[in-house]
Amino acid sequence: IMSARVALLRMEREGLITLPPPRIEPVKRTPWVIQNRLETSPCRVDSRPAGEWSDLVLRPVSKGIESEFWNDFVHQYHYLGHKTLPGAQIRYMAWSGEKPLACLGFSASAWKIAPGTPGSAGPENYRRKISSLSSTTPAS
């Protein structure tokens, strides 16, 4: 649906079509602000050696306070701080009992990295390599 909307808006900008006015005003998003959920959280990060952790659980992050907690966790512990993940995404937190251990985020836009991006062989080469590993037919 979103790609159809983008295509229609592009055609309108190029003067090919005229769209009716929007029925509702677009929501203006405010920039993300640190919520300090880690400071007020009753569960502190588990800093024990890995061999001492109890069973690990991977839970998807839902909206609301869990999402704010994930953002704060990444902001505090990731070397780049918090950056909004672009495109479609899914986020998880790893837990040992009630102690958070790790944040994992996956974004669909990784397939759209431009060729020549530092540290990247380009998405097309990567896709070919993956498809050659996962099928018996040669990659094109």
**What per-residue confidence (pLDDT) applies to 139?**
46
Expressed as residue numbers, the domain containing 57 is 2-34+48-109
Residues 7-56 pLDDT 10s: 898 999 999 999 998 888 877 766 656 556 556 555 666 677 878 887 88
Dmax (CA) of the chain: 64
Residues 6+ positions from 70 with CB-CB distance below 8 Å:
61, 91, 93, 103, 105
Domain presence at residue 91: yes
Domain presence at residue 40: no
Average pLDDT over residues 114-131: 54
Residue 131 has pLDDT above 60, yes or no: no
Residue that the structure tokens 């397939």 belong to: 111
Domain presence at residue 116: no
Domain presence at residue 118: no
Domain presence at residue 56: yes
Domain presence at residue 140: no
Domain presence at residue 135: no
36/120: higher pLDDT: 36
Give the count of domains, the chain. Answer: 1
Residues 43-91 pLDDT 10s: 666 677 878 887 888 999 988 888 888 888 888 888 787 777 777 788 9
Average pLDDT over residues 97-101: 80
**What per-residue confidence (pLDDT) applies to 122?**
52
CA atoms within 13 A on the CB side of 37: 16
